[in-house]
Amino acid sequence: MTPLCTIIPPYLLDRLAELGDENARRSLAADTALRAARATALRAAPLPAGRPGRTVADAGHSTRLPGRTVRTEGGPPTADPAVNRAYDGLGATLALLLEVYGRRSVDGEGLPLQATVHYGEEYDNAFWDGQRMVFGDGDQVVFRDFTGCVDVIGHELTHGVVQYSAALEYRGQSGALNESLADVFGSLVKQYALGQQAADADWLIGAGLLGPGVRGVALRSLKAPGTAYDDPRLGRDPQPASMDGYLETGSDQGGVHLNSGIPNRAFYLTAVELGGAAWERAGRIWYDAMTGGALRPDADFADFARTTVAAARSRFGEGPVVEAVAGAWKQVGVPAL
């Protein structure tokens, strides 16, 4: 079954709830209810197929999905900025997938993209539930509106790509790879939309999402895992940057949002070593590894590292590209050869 993949890790909401944040408690309760309803929802609602169009609905601050349709493919912008940001973010993700990798939507067969905005009351999260993207408005204290970051939208929709390709299990190292791929391609969606080279990108996930007064720049950093925030409410970014700091934990599905910093940094190192636009060579290698059929659902970091080296060799031949990929994995402590 496709997991409920949220952009805000549960350990952050847990920490806020422990500090007495009632909104975090409500958001956690909503996430728990959503996960409990997943099996029934997926059995009851067949996925649509056809042209990769976009539909944005408004939940009206309820938790009923999908909500009232407010914008469809080709329709004019609305008076609601959240609707328009969601629509544009879906489009930016479709553009990267199609124009760079020749993939028609997340399933490769033109699956229409659906999104719902204004979910819940000050809901502090956004998620992909296997069928649609759902955005909370945030509480405007710790988190701002979740439609405001195109990389967050790209991140969540990449879980859909994984769902239809590698189908990585959402626990332990395979789950951390699932999260890392979502971060990698979420960052590439932003870089492609902005026309940035690897050397010019900020390599942050959720820059601009943290509320006023929060000490931090984003949710995660691919360039420097563990440095995205250090705040009295959120604590310090716990992501390790190499296997030396690998976290063995029973929480967060075995650390899927934590240990994803390790493969994240391997991609960053590969991209800056190769230079140019990250979506070209580094992104193509990671895309080939994700969609090429060589990964088992329970793949670990070493499995994925070897798959990226093989993908680099297959596409670019022996030489500096393969060396850059293998060298990046070596720097984060994962054997790739």
- Is residue 257 flagged as an active site residue? yes
Same domain, 125 and 262: no
d(CA 333, CA 45): 43
Is the model's pLDDT at 41 over the cut of 60?
no
d(CA 158, CA 178): 9
Question: Is residue 256 within 8 Å of residue 179, measured between CB atoms?
Answer: yes
- Please report which helix (H) or strand (E) contains residue 127, including its range: strand 126-128
Report pLDDT digits (tens) over 182-218: 999 999 999 999 999 999 999 999 999 999 999 999 9
Is the model's pLDDT at 45 over the cut of 50?
no
Same domain, 135 and 268: no
Range(s) of the domain holding residue 307: 172-184+196-331
Nearest to 51 by CA among 100, 115, 96, 94: 94
> 118, 169, 257, 273: which one is catalytic?
257
Cis ω for the linkage preceding 297 (within 30 of 0): no
Token digits of residue 282: 């580094």
Domain membership of residue 189 (yes or no) is no
Number of domains in the chain: 2
Same domain, 179 and 322: yes
Q: Determine which of 7-21, 80-94, 118-132, 293-307 has the lowest per-residue pLDDT on average.
A: 7-21
Domain membership of residue 336 (yes or no) is no
Same domain, 10 and 141: yes
d(CA 223, CA 218): 12
d(CA 225, CA 221): 5
Q: For residue 105, give the CATH number of its domain.
A: 3.10.170.10
Strands 133-135 and 113-117: parallel
Nearest to 133 by CA among 81, 190, 93, 75: 93
Same domain, 88 and 118: yes
Same domain, 67 and 205: no
What integer pLDDT is reported at residue 44 of this predicted model? 32
Same domain, 214 and 149: no
Domain membership of residue 337 (yes or no) is no
Same domain, 24 and 64: yes
Domain membership of residue 307 (yes or no) is yes
> 155, 156, 169, 179: which one is catalytic?
156
Same domain, 210 and 327: yes
Same domain, 20 and 141: yes
Q: For residue 231, give the CATH number of its domain.
A: 1.10.390.10
Same domain, 160 and 177: no
Same domain, 71 and 136: yes
What integer pLDDT is reported at residue 37 of this predicted model? 52
Report pLDDT digits (tens) over 240-284: 999 999 999 999 999 999 999 999 999 999 999 999 999 999 999
Mean pLDDT to the nearest integer, 66-80: 97
Spell out where 76-234 has E strands. Answer: 113-117, 126-128, 133-135, 204-205, 220-221, 230-231
What integer pLDDT is reported at residue 2 of this predicted model? 59
